[in-house]
Chain A
């Protein structure tokens, strides 16, 4: 809502600068988003005095003018009939840019060079008036000064972000009331006096409300003998100062009253109203209505229509109709001033995407008891500036008048909510200046006027009081008496620990959009039912992610496109699985991708090493170790997204918790990625339970261990993991570790075979083991390997 500073002064006097006023309003909850300083509208448009006017020698309609702009005198060609000597006029100099972006250039018109342009109101964006040049009042302007229109010159405006609970502040009077409370003074409303003629409105129009829920009140007046034409300067300037374009005196008056009182009005050309009546009814489904802007609107039965005896003439509360619009020839105006149900207007405006000055106010709730005052104000202005005569009487249909209500307010409750006491006199003054009446003492009985539909409870009044008392006067309480809490969020702590581990391993943490494209779903997790976004912003964000991998591939692609191919990325975030009409399953998941060279920066002392499957597996083993999780195994298992040869499931104590492997190239093609990508994903909810709650110390061995190396040759297809498992089975109680330190094929090894070197460590916790105790165990191990895997000992 734009509030003109000068306009505001019509209702309350103040000496604030515009900045001070803006700050004061912001601090009572009327946030000033920006200040429009009253200043020159245009660069290079100056005030000039026409010193000589001569007919153009070769064009009758053109005049060659000499215009004094202070330091110089310009020759300007002018086509306007109203130009004459001694006028003060706005002159656009060469290079000036006018309303609509027109740039003034030096040009020769039929042999005479024009050094500028004398402007009309339209060229300056003041109004649509283009009948001639704008002639300025000599009182207000000086030759040579930068031209600015009267309104801009005198007036600054505040752009206030009015919160949805304050319909009353969508008007100058509403804001004036707030300024009054800030100043501790009452504001004054304009005096409305309507001189009525003897012609009665009742002979002219009748009103019938068929939907009194949608339209609880409809008031109207008729003004006749109106001369439609340009508005007087003061009115144009007023509207211009708050960003409303002047159209003609009738439309301007309705807009003026809207901005002044917050009550939207509509003026019909009464001669176009058929059957001398207005009927307010619901639209028929599919009914088509052409609004003022020329659009055909298809309506539904929830929409409210204003009709005459034969047809709809306005879409109630939103926009008038083309068929009854006020035109230059209009003589009789039917002024509508109604109260419409906020929900009804809101539904219609929202569905049709029509947010108008009127609909914005009706949908927040106008004052049902202000319709008469507003229509009278408009009638008064029309008779003053458009020569109108006001018919006697107001037609007012208001079957169930809305009464003011009473709210009780306990002074003790104010203190209880705020934590500080507000002096009684402040409370009373604030409520009084806000227009509320107070009776009683403890509690106060507060009568709320109908322009404040937001004040219905005690807490609403407390907010009003503290809002004006000043939030800054409430002390920040730094002492707190509170219930001690022993709880902490273990899951959250574990998640953070996981981040520590991956960051420690050199991974970068990423965050990707949770909304993904159709391709993300179909390529990575075709079997998980995804949650579909019904009103997505774009095709890239139509589903909720079922896996974090797609987002990570997006990140890989992004970085690849920016020439970074060596990446270790991870993310911890939520993934979703649809569950029919119920809320979807939401679980947190951790996923990572590895690609490119092992080092993010090359090292001169080493040749570059490319990340392979075992870096992936190693990262997960380190992760598992870092979390002290036991019993994690990796087992071959096919996944759609992974190459079959490296596709594995991650199992923890017989429960599947995730997957890992190299991503299939067909999938990478979708992301336009050519490099190998190794990836994993683990669902955290499954993992959290597997992490030990409490760690237990295991005594450090005090006795030396015995290490034995073993080198065997087996068929190359035999999984070394199985050899290791077998050794652990037969290795006896003292075998504490089996490490694989070499795997070799080639020279000296028969083809089709491989040599595996293992290191076995034996240890007893309570004595020194003897070599001869280990010997039989080693023999048993070798025997078992020979029997089960035809292994031969390599000498």
Chain B
């Protein structure tokens, strides 16, 4: 044996290996090929063993030849393995078009979602959220809000009674009186909650509905501040390009009183069906706290001034989501609830 014999053997083996590898069909055939060449008793091992019988000077170049072969075989086997494995792995058929195994997710009632947005807007402006009573005395619902018995303004509210001078609150405004009774100024609160009116349900009336009341009383609070807060709220709800409009109106517990409108969120003020072509949608009422109300809660109306505002939550939800019928909010049809 000489180095050239070995060299020839290596060349033959390499050719044989290349041919064999080309015929390998699966992983097990590949594995036998690997054992045949690289196994402990494989042909490459044999070649290395045969080095012992070579003359000393031939051992180094032959060793290099064999090592070279070994590396080539190893690389080729590794590459083939990757390819074959990949082919084999893709074999079991999985229908990827089948739907996934869903986790269940619930939904918030749209009134909750809108209320959360309203609360967060005002909390950022420093208002504290407080709760009121849904069953109120006529005193808190009317008298202390400067709506005495027999006042025509009581006609604006169709009231449900549950006892002698006890009513289901017709608005969240009684909270104004209760909060001012309970603490000295400054006051800066909002109060969300249910209200009740003796209204026959139709697309725009529900005997139960939600309002949010707002009240801020301190030294130096002005009508300009009220406009600032409502503008900030409007932008928070509907985006920075929204505009507000205040129109004079009448509420016995505020003076001056206003109705406030937002520029129509559907047409952005150009005029559409929702805003009846006016470019404005009516949101609710606001105004400076009437000094008469301060008399009931023992505030000094000369020293402090304040504003109050309200809003109908369903009304805002109807505008945002383009819901056309308020009754949907209380039917709890899952086809409605799942949309929010």
Contacts and interface: CB of A to CB of B under 8 A. Distances in A.
A533 interface: yes
A689 to B, nearest CB: 16
A210 to B, nearest CB: 22
Interface residues of B, number: 86
A583 B255 contact: no
B42 interface: no
Contacts of B76: none
Interface stretch (B7-15, B47-55, B57-65, B217-225): B217-225
B228 A489 contact: no
Interface stretch (B82-90, B102-110, B265-273): B102-110
Interface in B193-244: 194, 196, 198-200, 207-208, 218, 220, 222-225, 227-232, 244
Contact of B200 (A163, A489, A537): A537
A93 to B, nearest CB: 32
A515 B208 contact: yes
B248 A492 contact: no
A562 B334 CA distance: 9
B116 interface: yes
Residue of A164, A343, A574, A584 ringed by the most chain B CB atoms within 10 A: A164
A518 to B, nearest CB: 15
A483 interface: yes
B106 A509 contact: yes
B38 interface: no
B92 interface: no
B2 interface: no
A454 B208 CA distance: 32
B296 interface: no
A347 B255 CA distance: 27
Contacts of A363: 152
Contacts of A26: 247
Contacts of A418: 222-224
Contacts of A583: 133, 135-137, 166
B106 A503 contact: yes
A298 interface: no
A535 B98 CA distance: 57
B320 interface: no
Interface stretch (A434-442, A563-571, A715-723, A744-752): A563-571
Contact of A166 (B168, B224, B250, B258): B250
Interface in A563-621: 564, 567-569, 573-574, 576, 581, 583-584, 586, 599-601, 603-606
Contact of A514 (B196, B225, B245): B196
A584 to B, nearest CB: 5
A485 B160 contact: no
A699 to B, nearest CB: 32
Interface in B322-340: 329-335, 337-338
Contacts of A606: 101
B170 interface: no
A510 B111 CA distance: 10
Given A463-B255, A480-B228, A164 B131 contact: no
Contacts of B119: 492
Interface in B241-263: 244-250, 255-259
B39 interface: no
A489 B130 contact: yes
A123 B200 CA distance: 35
Contact of A485 (B98, B126, B291): B126
B187 to A, nearest CB: 10
A417 B219 CA distance: 10
Given A492-B131, A537-B207, A419 B224 contact: yes
Contacts of A604: 98-99
Interface in B125-167: 125-126, 128-131, 133-137, 150-153, 155-156, 160-164, 166
B123 to A, nearest CB: 8
A510 B337 contact: yes
Given A509-B107, A599-B104, A482 B247 contact: no
Interface stretch (A195-203, A369-377, A387-395, A470-478): A470-478
B75 interface: no
A471 B104 contact: no
B313 to A, nearest CB: 11
A537 B101 CA distance: 47
A192 interface: no
A489 B109 contact: no
A43 interface: no
B305 A477 contact: no
Q: 4 smallest A-B Cβ distances: which pairs?
A: A419-B222, A506-B104, A419-B224, A29-B248
18 contacts: A31-B249, A163-B249, A417-B256, A419-B223, A466-B256, A471-B247, A471-B256, A475-B224, A476-B230, A484-B126, A489-B131, A511-B111, A512-B332, A534-B162, A536-B160, A555-B332, A558-B331, A603-B101
